[in-house]
Amino acid sequence: GAGVSQSPSNKVTEKGKDVELRCDPISGHTALYWYRQSLGQGLEFLIYFQGNSAPDKSGLPSDRFSAERTGGSVSTLTIQRTQQEDSAVYLCASSPPGGWLVEQFFGPGTRLTVL
Amino acid sequence: GQQVMQIPQYQHVQEGEDFTTYCNSSTTLSNIQWYKQRPGGHPVFLIQLVKSGEVKKQKRLTFQFGEAKKNSSLHITATQTTDVGTYFCAGDNYGQNFVFGPGTRLSVLP
């Protein structure tokens, strides 16, 4: 079956512009997570959705970052006024019903480059 | 806040040698997960450990969860070139937060 998909796969933008990253989770998965991974680094947790609500937004690095999820499915991560330090791979993961933390299935990521 | 550390940061082994990576949390965890990320790929779930002292095996991989539920280890017996990648642990602090370790990057020389 289809896995988690993310678009675009690559995004190059200029400093100060806004970007929107999209995640399509696996059908039926209720939980959705966003992470950021800088080159050669670990995963930085950004936000977690259970259905359409986001019980944990603690990882969003600044108020330039926001995320929403509609219809319990697709999620978008928006970064306003991008900065060079925002350059990273943004990974989305989803997991099936079963509580706060069960196996997460990762998408291929969006590589964001801010010039 | 909760911190999850992994050692070593890098490990180079000869094919056929064993490999172990250790994960340590500053707080007690309700469970711990392990993921593998191949170069250029995305993390792939390996296993979840929940019980204190739990040991699970997957072929050549052995996972342990410490008695105090603050540390974990992943041991690979007789490494192969297909084991190359970065191994991450991820810990859940009873729903308060969820943190990935920085990972251990394994390279296997043929």
| Cross-strand partners of A38 | none
CB B37 within 8 A of CB B44: yes
Each residue's pLDDT expressed in tens, for chain A with a length of 115 residues: 589 999 999 999 999 999 999 999 999 898 899 999 988 788 888 988 888 887 777 788 899 999 999 888 999 999 999 999 999 999 999 988 875 557 889 999 999 999 9
Give chain B positions within 8 Å (CB) of A103.
33, 45, 48
The string of pLDDT tens digits covering residues A41-58 is 888 889 888 888 877 777
SS3 for B106? Answer: strand
**Residue B69: closest CA among B54, B84, B83:** B54
Q: Please list, residue by residue across A23-47, b when 16 or more beta carbons sit within 10 angstroms of its beta carbon and e when fewer do.
A: bbbbeebbbbbbbbbeeeebbbbbb
d(CA A17, CA A82): 6
- Between A58, A91, A103, which is nearest B97 by CB? A58
CA nearest to A35 within chain B: B100
The dihedral sign for the CA sequence A81, B102, A111, A88: positive
Q: Percentages helix, strand, coil for chain A, rounded to the nearest 5?
A: 5, 50, 50
Return the C-alpha torsion angle B22, A85, A95, A49, nearest 10. Answer: 130
Give chain B positions within 8 Å (CB) of A10.
none
Instruction: Report CB contact under 8 Å: A42, B97.
Output: no
B104 touches chain A (CB under 8 A): no
Q: Which of A5, A9, A43, A60 to mutate to test the interface with B (most CBs of B within 10 A)?
A: A43
Tokens describing residue B45: 């779930």
Banded model confidence at residue B24, pLDDT cuts 50, 70, 90 = very high
A3 touches chain B (CB under 8 A): no
The string of pLDDT tens digits covering residues B59-84 is 999 999 999 999 999 999 999 999 99
Ordered alpha helix ranges (H), B23-88: none
The full length of chain B comes to: 110
- Between A43, A103, A109, which is nearest B88 by CB? A43
d(CA B98, CA B92): 5
